[in-house]
Structure 1
Amino acid sequence: MGNGKENSLTILIADDHHLVRQGLRSLIERSQTQYNISDVATGEQAWQFISQYQPDLAILDISMGDLSGLKVCEHVKRRKLRTRIIFLSMHDDVKVIHRAFEVGADAYLSKSEAFDTLNQALQTVAAGHSFISPNIESELARYRAATTQSLLTAREKQIVSYITQGKSNRQIADALCISIKTVDNHRTKAMRKLGVNKAAELVKYGLEEGLVV
């Protein structure tokens, strides 16, 4: 149920533990920001509420009955609803965290540090930015880097390393005894996999990942 405040940001809390929902509500209400808070116990209820009312923010647990928080987030992003999604979970598996952002999460927090970071996350996400708990940010960055590198073939990594050194397609082709067209194909595939559109971004990636011939 809502708290009756008007002209304030609306928040939905979805968690299958009553005490957790009440604790989060109490924690949020301590802030100086005015929020209109509602809460539900299952993923199904969360999706019904979001699809009907489109609150500004939804705080979701990962596991909530038959419809997980991840599925709820997928539905929200697929329908392009205005609600921004914050995951608050005991799951600290970096693969789960990575998956949460893959499906469109705007923030991810660990329940163990909610007291310190929840209100900061709410303000950050409400302002249109993403947020991740400081204690898992570096681990996620390492996982993403390793995952991205594993997507590139050995030849693609080799091409990127030459590009990082400032070599032209002609120079790379001569060094590897392949055609310029083949170099360009590998370069295009690598850029597509890495999600970059400019050579400068490819060079930046190569430098950050330490790719060398």
Structure 2
Amino acid sequence: MKKQVAFLGIILISAFAPLMTQAQNSAEPETLFKKGDPISTENLGLFIAPSFGFTQMDGAGAALFNLRAGVSIKDQISFGGYFSTSMNDIKPQSETVPNVYMDYWTAGGFAEYTLNASKLVHLTFPVYFGYGEVQMDNEIGDTGLGEANFFLVEPSALLEINLLKFLSLNAGAGYRIVGNMSYRNFNQSDLSGITGYVGLKFNLF
């Protein structure tokens, strides 16, 4: 019986050996990532973009520093995060307490669409969405006047000029839309408004 089983095994191996060899020699199946090949970054870019903003809040002038960083896809669609903070002492017109000023900051994300990034001069449209805070303060610290938080959306339009392959200059404006909030003698309508921007964009790769 054992001899018969061994003989049957030899016959099966002989019959299927050509099929096994053919399968090994056939083309490998297509896969998204090939073994040993790095993931292609040809269409991806990383950038950082500092800028200065100039606006009004409750009738007072405000200078802002804005920093954003993100990833671009085919130099057309970008997304990432940002942080913006006031640089000067903002003094709202409605404030009645003397010798105090307002601090302002926001942070969140952004999405951006760029038209013809390879052209010397082109347009780009970032939209910011984030969370922010305003607080009255003085030179010695918190005055106990509280604070207020809010959400905002700010669509913007910038004219961008390619200075170098990795560096561009931009200028434009955005409109800050602040969600429902109330603080001291002003509300979201006094905090919303147009911001003018001028800045640089560094393409890291």
Q: Is the TM value for this pair above 0.5?
A: no
| Structure-1-length-normalised TM-score | 0.18
Higher helix share: 1
The higher-RCO structure (CA 8 Å, 6+ apart) is 2
Structure 1 or 2, whichever has the larger Rg, is 2
Higher strand share: 2
